[in-house]
Chains A and B, each alone.
Chain A
Amino acid sequence: MSEKTYRANEVVSCVDEGEDGAMLYNPDKDDTVLLNPSGRSIWALLSAPRTLDEIARHLTTAYPDVTLEQARQDAEKFIQSLVPHFVTASPDEH
Protein backbone atom coordinates (compact mmCIF):
# COMPACT_ATOMS: atom_id res chain seq x y z
CA MET A 1 0.00 0.00 0.00
CA SER A 2 1.36 3.44 -0.94
CA GLU A 3 2.34 5.93 1.75
CA LYS A 4 -0.15 8.60 2.67
CA THR A 5 0.36 12.01 1.05
CA TYR A 6 -0.84 15.45 2.02
CA ARG A 7 -1.53 18.57 -0.03
CA ALA A 8 -3.10 21.99 0.39
CA ASN A 9 -6.89 21.98 0.20
CA GLU A 10 -7.49 23.80 -3.07
CA VAL A 11 -10.33 25.88 -1.65
CA VAL A 12 -8.05 27.46 0.97
CA SER A 13 -6.51 30.91 0.48
CA CYS A 14 -3.14 31.83 1.92
CA VAL A 15 -2.30 35.45 2.60
CA ASP A 16 1.17 36.55 3.63
CA GLU A 17 1.18 38.35 6.98
CA GLY A 18 4.83 39.47 6.86
CA GLU A 19 6.85 38.61 9.96
CA ASP A 20 3.78 36.99 11.53
CA GLY A 21 3.75 34.24 8.90
CA ALA A 22 0.61 33.64 6.86
CA MET A 23 -3.14 33.40 7.30
CA LEU A 24 -5.01 30.41 5.86
CA TYR A 25 -8.74 30.72 5.25
CA ASN A 26 -11.19 28.01 4.26
CA PRO A 27 -14.30 29.84 2.99
CA ASP A 28 -16.39 26.66 2.81
CA LYS A 29 -15.89 26.07 6.54
CA ASP A 30 -15.35 29.73 7.48
CA ASP A 31 -12.24 28.65 9.37
CA THR A 32 -8.91 30.46 9.69
CA VAL A 33 -5.50 29.55 11.04
CA LEU A 34 -2.34 31.61 11.41
CA LEU A 35 0.88 29.89 10.36
CA ASN A 36 4.26 30.92 11.74
CA PRO A 37 7.10 31.38 9.21
CA SER A 38 8.17 27.71 9.34
CA GLY A 39 4.55 26.63 8.92
CA ARG A 40 4.32 28.96 5.94
CA SER A 41 7.35 27.29 4.35
CA ILE A 42 5.74 23.85 4.78
CA TRP A 43 2.50 25.21 3.31
CA ALA A 44 4.38 26.30 0.20
CA LEU A 45 5.59 22.70 -0.14
CA LEU A 46 2.03 21.38 -0.07
CA SER A 47 1.09 22.75 -3.48
CA ALA A 48 1.93 19.18 -4.56
CA PRO A 49 1.22 15.93 -2.65
CA ARG A 50 3.92 15.26 -0.01
CA THR A 51 4.62 12.44 2.37
CA LEU A 52 5.51 13.12 5.99
CA ASP A 53 9.08 12.03 5.20
CA GLU A 54 9.35 14.59 2.43
CA ILE A 55 8.10 17.33 4.73
CA ALA A 56 10.49 16.18 7.48
CA ARG A 57 13.44 16.28 5.08
CA HIS A 58 12.45 19.83 4.11
CA LEU A 59 12.49 20.78 7.80
CA THR A 60 15.92 19.29 8.42
CA THR A 61 17.25 21.25 5.45
CA ALA A 62 15.79 24.48 6.82
CA TYR A 63 16.76 23.67 10.43
CA PRO A 64 19.95 21.54 10.36
CA ASP A 65 20.00 21.17 14.17
CA VAL A 66 16.73 19.18 14.09
CA THR A 67 17.00 15.40 13.75
CA LEU A 68 15.00 13.60 11.07
CA GLU A 69 13.01 11.76 13.76
CA GLN A 70 12.13 15.01 15.55
CA ALA A 71 11.28 16.69 12.23
CA ARG A 72 8.96 13.82 11.34
CA GLN A 73 7.13 14.15 14.66
CA ASP A 74 6.82 17.93 14.21
CA ALA A 75 5.61 17.51 10.62
CA GLU A 76 2.98 14.98 11.67
CA LYS A 77 1.72 17.21 14.49
CA PHE A 78 1.57 20.20 12.13
CA ILE A 79 -0.22 18.34 9.36
CA GLN A 80 -2.73 16.77 11.73
CA SER A 81 -3.63 20.24 13.03
CA LEU A 82 -4.53 21.26 9.46
CA VAL A 83 -6.44 18.16 8.30
CA PRO A 84 -9.11 18.25 6.92
CA HIS A 85 -10.07 21.95 6.66
CA PHE A 86 -6.76 23.17 5.29
CA VAL A 87 -4.92 20.07 4.12
CA THR A 88 -6.33 16.99 2.38
CA ALA A 89 -4.91 13.52 2.90
CA SER A 90 -4.73 10.85 0.23
CA PRO A 91 -5.91 8.19 0.67
CA ASP A 92 -8.59 10.13 2.57
CA GLU A 93 -8.42 9.55 6.31
CA HIS A 94 -11.81 11.18 7.10
Chain B
Amino acid sequence: MSTEPLPVPDLTVPPPGLPRFPREISLCITGRCNLKCRYCFYADEMAARNDLPTERWLALFAELGRLGVQRVCLSGGEAFTRKDLFELIDGIIAGKMRYSMLTNGTLINRDTLAAFAVGKRRLRLDSIQVSIDGSRADIHDQSRPPKSFDRALAGLRLLREAGFPVTVRVTVNRANLDDLPNIARLLLEDVGLPSFSTNEAETMGSARCYGDSMVLTPAERRRAMEILADLNKKYDGRISANAGPLALARHFAEIEESIARGERSRPGRGKLCACGGVFGKMAILHDGTIVPCDMLPNLTMGVVGLHSLGEAWRSSPAINAVRYRRDIPLSSLPSCRGCAYVGFCTGGCPASVMARYGKLNVRDPLVCYRIFKGEEPADAV
Protein backbone atom coordinates (compact mmCIF):
# COMPACT_ATOMS: atom_id res chain seq x y z
CA MET B 1 0.00 0.00 0.00
CA SER B 2 1.35 3.43 -0.90
CA THR B 3 2.58 5.68 1.88
CA GLU B 4 2.28 8.75 -0.33
CA PRO B 5 0.06 11.41 1.26
CA LEU B 6 -3.42 11.58 -0.22
CA PRO B 7 -4.03 14.50 -2.56
CA VAL B 8 -7.13 15.49 -0.56
CA PRO B 9 -7.48 15.97 3.21
CA ASP B 10 -9.39 13.44 5.31
CA LEU B 11 -12.54 15.48 5.88
CA THR B 12 -13.52 13.44 8.94
CA VAL B 13 -10.46 14.80 10.77
CA PRO B 14 -10.70 18.38 12.04
CA PRO B 15 -7.85 20.82 11.45
CA PRO B 16 -5.35 21.18 14.31
CA GLY B 17 -6.25 23.61 17.08
CA LEU B 18 -10.01 23.42 16.58
CA PRO B 19 -11.87 24.18 19.87
CA ARG B 20 -13.61 21.19 21.50
CA PHE B 21 -16.94 22.89 20.79
CA PRO B 22 -17.90 26.35 19.51
CA ARG B 23 -18.58 29.12 22.01
CA GLU B 24 -21.20 30.61 19.68
CA ILE B 25 -24.07 29.06 17.73
CA SER B 26 -26.56 30.62 15.32
CA LEU B 27 -30.08 29.31 15.79
CA CYS B 28 -32.77 29.86 13.17
CA ILE B 29 -35.66 29.18 15.53
CA THR B 30 -38.40 29.41 12.92
CA GLY B 31 -38.88 29.24 9.17
CA ARG B 32 -41.95 31.45 9.41
CA CYS B 33 -41.89 35.17 8.71
CA ASN B 34 -44.52 37.89 8.52
CA LEU B 35 -42.64 39.61 5.67
CA LYS B 36 -41.69 38.49 2.16
CA CYS B 37 -38.32 40.15 1.72
CA ARG B 38 -37.05 40.01 -1.83
CA TYR B 39 -33.48 38.98 -1.04
CA CYS B 40 -34.02 36.73 2.01
CA PHE B 41 -31.40 33.97 1.98
CA TYR B 42 -33.57 31.94 4.33
CA ALA B 43 -36.61 31.84 2.05
CA ASP B 44 -37.01 29.47 -0.87
CA GLU B 45 -37.08 25.79 0.08
CA MET B 46 -36.53 26.56 3.77
CA ALA B 47 -40.17 27.53 4.31
CA ALA B 48 -41.26 23.96 3.52
CA ARG B 49 -39.43 22.55 6.55
CA ASN B 50 -41.20 22.36 9.93
CA ASP B 51 -40.11 24.22 13.07
CA LEU B 52 -38.74 22.16 15.95
CA PRO B 53 -41.27 22.17 18.82
CA THR B 54 -40.63 24.02 22.09
CA GLU B 55 -39.46 20.99 24.08
CA ARG B 56 -36.84 20.09 21.45
CA TRP B 57 -35.36 23.58 21.59
CA LEU B 58 -35.34 23.55 25.39
CA ALA B 59 -33.52 20.21 25.45
CA LEU B 60 -31.05 21.57 22.90
CA PHE B 61 -30.34 24.71 24.97
CA ALA B 62 -29.58 22.57 28.03
CA GLU B 63 -27.16 20.49 25.94
CA LEU B 64 -25.49 23.54 24.37
CA GLY B 65 -24.89 25.00 27.83
CA ARG B 66 -23.30 21.75 29.02
CA LEU B 67 -21.06 21.71 25.94
CA GLY B 68 -19.72 25.18 26.75
CA VAL B 69 -21.64 27.40 24.33
CA GLN B 70 -21.63 30.91 25.77
CA ARG B 71 -23.87 32.78 23.35
CA VAL B 72 -26.50 32.01 20.75
CA CYS B 73 -27.89 34.24 18.01
CA LEU B 74 -31.62 33.84 17.40
CA SER B 75 -32.97 34.48 13.93
CA GLY B 76 -35.33 32.89 11.44
CA GLY B 77 -37.59 33.52 9.61
CA GLU B 78 -38.78 36.11 12.09
CA ALA B 79 -38.01 35.07 15.65
CA PHE B 80 -40.87 37.15 17.11
CA THR B 81 -43.46 35.08 15.20
CA ARG B 82 -42.83 32.23 17.67
CA LYS B 83 -45.50 32.37 20.36
CA ASP B 84 -43.13 30.54 22.71
CA LEU B 85 -40.25 32.96 22.09
CA PHE B 86 -39.85 34.07 25.70
CA GLU B 87 -40.12 30.49 26.93
CA LEU B 88 -37.22 29.69 24.59
CA ILE B 89 -35.27 32.70 25.88
CA ASP B 90 -35.81 31.49 29.44
CA GLY B 91 -34.42 28.11 28.32
CA ILE B 92 -31.30 29.84 27.01
CA ILE B 93 -30.93 31.62 30.36
CA ALA B 94 -31.41 28.32 32.25
CA GLY B 95 -28.70 26.86 30.00
CA LYS B 96 -26.29 29.50 31.35
CA MET B 97 -25.90 31.30 28.01
CA ARG B 98 -26.31 34.80 26.62
CA TYR B 99 -28.17 35.62 23.42
CA SER B 100 -28.60 38.12 20.61
CA MET B 101 -31.43 38.50 18.10
CA LEU B 102 -31.91 39.41 14.45
CA THR B 103 -35.37 40.77 13.64
CA ASN B 104 -37.32 42.78 11.10
CA GLY B 105 -38.58 44.86 14.04
CA THR B 106 -42.22 44.93 12.96
CA LEU B 107 -43.60 42.82 15.82
CA ILE B 108 -41.89 44.78 18.60
CA ASN B 109 -44.30 46.80 20.74
CA ARG B 110 -44.67 47.87 24.37
CA ASP B 111 -45.84 44.38 25.37
CA THR B 112 -42.64 42.97 23.90
CA LEU B 113 -40.53 45.38 25.95
CA ALA B 114 -42.46 44.41 29.07
CA ALA B 115 -41.81 40.73 28.37
CA PHE B 116 -38.07 41.42 28.14
CA ALA B 117 -38.19 42.97 31.61
CA VAL B 118 -38.97 39.61 33.25
CA GLY B 119 -36.14 37.77 35.03
CA LYS B 120 -32.78 37.88 33.31
CA ARG B 121 -34.09 38.25 29.75
CA ARG B 122 -32.76 41.78 29.45
CA LEU B 123 -29.53 41.15 31.40
CA ARG B 124 -28.49 38.30 29.09
CA LEU B 125 -29.36 40.11 25.83
CA ASP B 126 -26.18 41.11 23.98
CA SER B 127 -27.83 42.88 21.06
CA ILE B 128 -30.98 43.04 19.01
CA GLN B 129 -30.50 43.89 15.33
CA VAL B 130 -33.31 45.45 13.30
CA SER B 131 -33.20 45.50 9.48
CA ILE B 132 -33.85 48.90 7.92
CA ASP B 133 -33.50 49.22 4.14
CA GLY B 134 -34.74 52.74 3.42
CA SER B 135 -35.32 56.17 4.88
CA ARG B 136 -38.92 56.11 3.63
CA ALA B 137 -41.66 53.52 3.30
CA ASP B 138 -41.68 53.54 -0.49
CA ILE B 139 -37.99 52.54 -0.55
CA HIS B 140 -37.80 50.16 2.44
CA ASP B 141 -40.98 48.36 1.37
CA GLN B 142 -39.64 47.57 -2.11
CA SER B 143 -37.21 45.06 -0.59
CA ARG B 144 -39.16 44.23 2.58
CA PRO B 145 -42.88 43.92 1.64
CA PRO B 146 -45.63 44.06 2.63
CA LYS B 147 -45.67 47.63 4.06
CA SER B 148 -43.21 47.09 6.91
CA PHE B 149 -41.33 50.40 7.18
CA ASP B 150 -43.51 52.21 9.69
CA ARG B 151 -43.71 49.19 12.00
CA ALA B 152 -39.98 48.45 11.70
CA LEU B 153 -39.02 52.04 12.49
CA ALA B 154 -41.50 52.16 15.37
CA GLY B 155 -39.96 48.96 16.78
CA LEU B 156 -36.47 50.38 16.39
CA ARG B 157 -37.41 53.64 18.13
CA LEU B 158 -39.10 51.77 20.99
CA LEU B 159 -35.99 49.66 21.58
CA ARG B 160 -33.70 52.68 21.34
CA GLU B 161 -35.78 54.82 23.70
CA ALA B 162 -35.98 51.99 26.24
CA GLY B 163 -32.20 51.70 26.23
CA PHE B 164 -31.96 48.25 24.61
CA PRO B 165 -28.65 47.28 22.97
CA VAL B 166 -30.20 47.80 19.53
CA THR B 167 -28.24 47.77 16.28
CA VAL B 168 -29.33 48.14 12.65
CA ARG B 169 -28.34 46.29 9.48
CA VAL B 170 -28.87 47.98 6.11
CA THR B 171 -28.77 45.59 3.18
CA VAL B 172 -27.71 47.57 0.13
CA ASN B 173 -29.78 46.73 -2.95
CA ARG B 174 -30.90 48.31 -6.20
CA ALA B 175 -33.90 49.96 -4.54
CA ASN B 176 -31.99 51.81 -1.81
CA LEU B 177 -28.66 52.65 -3.46
CA ASP B 178 -29.53 56.32 -4.01
CA ASP B 179 -31.17 56.54 -0.59
CA LEU B 180 -28.06 55.56 1.40
CA PRO B 181 -27.25 59.17 2.48
CA ASN B 182 -30.83 59.58 3.73
CA ILE B 183 -30.71 56.24 5.54
CA ALA B 184 -27.48 57.27 7.28
CA ARG B 185 -29.07 60.56 8.31
CA LEU B 186 -32.19 58.80 9.62
CA LEU B 187 -30.28 56.23 11.66
CA LEU B 188 -27.34 58.26 12.93
CA GLU B 189 -28.91 61.72 13.33
CA ASP B 190 -32.65 61.26 13.74
CA VAL B 191 -32.86 57.93 15.61
CA GLY B 192 -29.45 58.66 17.18
CA LEU B 193 -27.80 55.25 16.86
CA PRO B 194 -24.08 55.19 17.62
CA SER B 195 -23.48 53.16 14.44
CA PHE B 196 -25.05 50.78 11.93
CA SER B 197 -23.77 47.97 9.74
CA THR B 198 -24.17 47.24 6.05
CA ASN B 199 -24.17 44.27 3.70
CA GLU B 200 -25.57 43.72 0.22
CA ALA B 201 -28.32 41.61 -1.36
CA GLU B 202 -26.90 38.46 -2.94
CA THR B 203 -28.31 35.97 -5.40
CA MET B 204 -29.59 33.40 -2.95
CA GLY B 205 -32.95 32.47 -1.42
CA SER B 206 -35.78 34.69 -2.64
CA ALA B 207 -33.34 36.88 -4.59
CA ARG B 208 -33.25 34.02 -7.08
CA CYS B 209 -36.75 35.16 -8.06
CA TYR B 210 -36.34 38.90 -7.57
CA GLY B 211 -32.62 39.28 -8.25
CA ASP B 212 -33.02 41.63 -11.20
CA SER B 213 -34.74 44.18 -8.99
CA MET B 214 -32.54 43.63 -5.92
CA VAL B 215 -28.96 42.54 -6.66
CA LEU B 216 -26.55 45.35 -7.56
CA THR B 217 -24.98 45.41 -11.01
CA PRO B 218 -21.15 45.77 -11.06
CA ALA B 219 -21.52 49.49 -11.85
CA GLU B 220 -24.00 49.96 -9.00
CA ARG B 221 -21.74 48.08 -6.58
CA ARG B 222 -18.91 50.43 -7.51
CA ARG B 223 -21.18 53.40 -6.78
CA ALA B 224 -22.30 51.86 -3.50
CA MET B 225 -18.65 51.50 -2.48
CA GLU B 226 -18.00 55.17 -3.19
CA ILE B 227 -21.18 56.39 -1.48
CA LEU B 228 -20.61 54.32 1.67
CA ALA B 229 -16.91 55.21 1.89
CA ASP B 230 -17.84 58.92 1.66
CA LEU B 231 -20.63 58.56 4.22
CA ASN B 232 -18.32 56.74 6.58
CA LYS B 233 -15.87 59.64 6.38
CA LYS B 234 -18.68 62.10 7.02
CA TYR B 235 -19.88 60.13 10.06
CA ASP B 236 -16.44 59.38 11.53
CA GLY B 237 -16.42 55.63 10.91
CA ARG B 238 -19.86 54.97 12.41
CA ILE B 239 -20.82 52.69 9.48
CA SER B 240 -19.40 49.19 9.60
CA ALA B 241 -19.34 46.13 7.33
CA ASN B 242 -17.94 42.62 7.37
CA ALA B 243 -19.14 42.06 3.80
CA GLY B 244 -20.77 44.04 1.01
CA PRO B 245 -19.74 47.26 -0.71
CA LEU B 246 -18.17 49.04 2.27
CA ALA B 247 -16.07 46.02 3.27
CA LEU B 248 -15.06 45.63 -0.36
CA ALA B 249 -14.06 49.31 -0.63
CA ARG B 250 -11.82 48.84 2.41
CA HIS B 251 -10.36 45.61 1.03
CA PHE B 252 -9.56 47.11 -2.36
CA ALA B 253 -8.08 50.24 -0.75
CA GLU B 254 -5.76 47.99 1.30
CA ILE B 255 -4.66 46.20 -1.88
CA GLU B 256 -3.89 49.51 -3.56
CA GLU B 257 -1.91 50.70 -0.53
CA SER B 258 0.07 47.46 -0.47
CA ILE B 259 0.86 47.70 -4.17
CA ALA B 260 1.94 51.33 -3.72
CA ARG B 261 4.38 50.15 -1.05
CA GLY B 262 5.80 47.63 -3.54
CA GLU B 263 4.36 44.58 -1.76
CA ARG B 264 3.32 41.50 -3.73
CA SER B 265 1.32 39.78 -1.00
CA ARG B 266 -0.08 40.16 2.51
CA PRO B 267 0.17 37.73 5.44
CA GLY B 268 -2.64 35.18 5.61
CA ARG B 269 -3.82 35.82 2.05
CA GLY B 270 -3.45 33.97 -1.25
CA LYS B 271 -5.69 31.04 -0.30
CA LEU B 272 -9.43 30.36 -0.09
CA CYS B 273 -9.32 31.55 3.50
CA ALA B 274 -12.04 34.23 3.65
CA CYS B 275 -14.30 32.49 6.15
CA GLY B 276 -13.03 32.13 9.71
CA GLY B 277 -16.54 31.61 11.08
CA VAL B 278 -16.48 27.82 10.72
CA PHE B 279 -13.59 27.58 13.20
CA GLY B 280 -15.60 29.14 16.03
CA LYS B 281 -19.27 28.85 15.13
CA MET B 282 -21.90 26.66 13.52
CA ALA B 283 -25.64 26.95 12.98
CA ILE B 284 -28.83 25.01 13.57
CA LEU B 285 -31.79 25.50 11.27
CA HIS B 286 -35.41 25.64 12.41
CA ASP B 287 -36.01 21.97 11.61
CA GLY B 288 -32.97 20.84 13.60
CA THR B 289 -30.54 20.48 10.71
CA ILE B 290 -26.98 21.23 11.85
CA VAL B 291 -25.04 23.25 9.25
CA PRO B 292 -21.72 25.14 9.15
CA CYS B 293 -23.55 28.46 8.62
CA ASP B 294 -27.18 29.42 8.11
CA MET B 295 -26.18 30.69 4.68
CA LEU B 296 -24.98 27.17 3.79
CA PRO B 297 -28.27 25.33 4.46
CA ASN B 298 -27.53 22.42 2.15
CA LEU B 299 -24.28 21.34 3.83
CA THR B 300 -25.87 19.04 6.37
CA MET B 301 -23.65 18.05 9.31
CA GLY B 302 -26.32 16.15 11.21
CA VAL B 303 -29.72 16.52 12.81
CA VAL B 304 -30.51 17.57 16.37
CA GLY B 305 -31.76 14.60 18.35
CA LEU B 306 -30.29 12.09 15.90
CA HIS B 307 -26.61 12.96 15.87
CA SER B 308 -24.02 14.03 18.41
CA LEU B 309 -23.42 17.78 18.28
CA GLY B 310 -19.79 17.37 19.32
CA GLU B 311 -19.18 14.71 16.68
CA ALA B 312 -20.82 16.87 14.01
CA TRP B 313 -18.63 19.84 15.02
CA ARG B 314 -15.39 17.89 14.87
CA SER B 315 -15.87 15.18 12.28
CA SER B 316 -18.49 16.24 9.77
CA PRO B 317 -17.03 16.39 6.24
CA ALA B 318 -19.60 19.12 5.47
CA ILE B 319 -17.98 21.65 7.82
CA ASN B 320 -14.43 20.36 7.42
CA ALA B 321 -14.74 20.89 3.66
CA VAL B 322 -15.29 24.59 4.39
CA ARG B 323 -12.45 24.68 6.94
CA TYR B 324 -9.94 23.03 4.60
CA ARG B 325 -10.62 25.60 1.87
CA ARG B 326 -7.99 27.69 3.63
CA ASP B 327 -5.32 25.25 2.41
CA ILE B 328 -6.22 25.71 -1.26
CA PRO B 329 -3.95 28.25 -3.00
CA LEU B 330 -5.87 30.68 -5.19
CA SER B 331 -3.14 30.25 -7.79
CA SER B 332 -4.33 26.65 -8.25
CA LEU B 333 -7.81 27.79 -9.37
CA PRO B 334 -8.32 28.19 -13.12
CA SER B 335 -10.11 31.52 -12.57
CA CYS B 336 -7.18 32.98 -10.62
CA ARG B 337 -4.25 31.55 -12.57
CA GLY B 338 -1.80 34.26 -13.57
CA CYS B 339 -3.54 36.91 -11.45
CA ALA B 340 -1.09 39.47 -10.07
CA TYR B 341 -3.31 40.08 -7.04
CA VAL B 342 -3.74 36.56 -5.59
CA GLY B 343 -1.29 37.39 -2.81
CA PHE B 344 -3.78 39.96 -1.48
CA CYS B 345 -6.96 37.94 -1.96
CA THR B 346 -8.97 35.52 0.23
CA GLY B 347 -11.36 34.23 -2.42
CA GLY B 348 -14.60 35.49 -0.87
CA CYS B 349 -17.51 34.00 1.07
CA PRO B 350 -18.06 30.24 0.65
CA ALA B 351 -21.84 30.69 1.01
CA SER B 352 -21.89 33.16 -1.88
CA VAL B 353 -20.12 30.82 -4.28
CA MET B 354 -22.10 27.82 -3.07
CA ALA B 355 -25.36 29.67 -3.77
CA ARG B 356 -24.16 30.91 -7.14
CA TYR B 357 -22.31 27.88 -8.52
CA GLY B 358 -23.14 24.95 -6.25
CA LYS B 359 -19.40 24.59 -5.54
CA LEU B 360 -17.25 25.53 -2.57
CA ASN B 361 -13.75 25.62 -3.97
CA VAL B 362 -14.07 28.51 -6.38
CA ARG B 363 -13.42 32.20 -5.92
CA ASP B 364 -16.20 34.75 -5.64
CA PRO B 365 -16.02 37.17 -8.59
CA LEU B 366 -17.74 39.86 -6.47
CA VAL B 367 -14.58 40.26 -4.38
CA CYS B 368 -12.15 39.93 -7.31
CA TYR B 369 -9.85 42.95 -7.59
CA ARG B 370 -8.82 41.96 -11.13
CA ILE B 371 -12.47 42.15 -12.22
CA PHE B 372 -12.92 45.40 -10.28
CA LYS B 373 -9.95 46.87 -12.17
CA GLY B 374 -11.52 45.81 -15.48
CA GLU B 375 -8.62 43.48 -16.26
CA GLU B 376 -11.04 40.54 -16.52
CA PRO B 377 -14.65 40.53 -17.78
CA ALA B 378 -17.21 40.99 -15.01
CA ASP B 379 -19.05 37.81 -15.95
CA ALA B 380 -15.89 35.66 -15.66
CA VAL B 381 -16.13 32.68 -13.31
Interfacial chain B residues near A12, Cβ < 8 Å: 96
Is B145's beta carbon under 8 Å from chain A? Answer: no
Number of CB contacts from chain A to chain B under 8 A: 29
The answer to whether B98 and A15 have CB atoms under 8 Å apart is no
Q: Interface code A2-42, partner B: CB below 8 Å = 1, 0 otherwise? A: 00000000011101011000010101101010000000000
The answer to whether B120 and A28 have CB atoms under 8 Å apart is yes
Given the contacts A11-B96, A12-B96, A30-B98, A25 and B68 also touching, CB distance less than 8 Å: yes
Given the contacts A25-B96, A27-B98, A13 and B124 also touching, CB distance less than 8 Å: no
The answer to whether B98 and A13 have CB atoms under 8 Å apart is no
Interfacial chain A residues near B97, Cβ < 8 Å: 27
Is B47's beta carbon under 8 Å from chain A? Answer: no
- Closest B-chain residue to A30, C-beta based? B98
Chain B min CB distance to A17 (Å): 7
Count chain B residues whose beta carbon lies closer than 8 angstroms to a beta carbon of A. 15
Taking a contact as CB atoms closer than 8 A, the residue among A11, A17, A18, A32 that contacts B70 in the complex is A32
The answer to whether A17 and B123 have CB atoms under 8 Å apart is no
Q: In terms of DSSP, what is the predominant structure of the interface of chain B?
A: loop
The answer to whether B20 and A25 have CB atoms under 8 Å apart is no
Is B67's beta carbon under 8 Å from chain A? Answer: yes
CA distance A25 to B96 in the complex (A): 8
Interfacial chain B residues near A13, Cβ < 8 Å: 65-66, 68, 96
Per the 8 Å Cβ criterion, residues 74-88 of B in contact with A are none
Given the contacts A11-B96, A12-B96, A28 and B70 also touching, CB distance less than 8 Å: no
Known: A13-B68, A28-B123, A30-B70. 16 other contacts (CB 8 A): A13-B65, A13-B66, A13-B96, A15-B21, A15-B66, A17-B20, A18-B20, A23-B68, A25-B68, A25-B70, A25-B96, A27-B70, A27-B97, A28-B120, A28-B124, A32-B70
28 A-B pairs with C-beta separation under 8 A: A11-B96, A12-B96, A13-B65, A13-B66, A13-B68, A13-B96, A15-B66, A15-B67, A15-B68, A17-B20, A18-B20, A23-B68, A25-B68, A25-B70, A25-B96, A27-B70, A27-B93, A27-B96, A27-B97, A27-B98, A27-B124, A28-B120, A28-B123, A28-B124, A30-B70, A30-B98, A30-B126, A32-B70
**Which B residues have a C-beta under 8 Å from some C-beta of A?**
20-21, 65-68, 70, 93, 96-98, 120, 123-124, 126
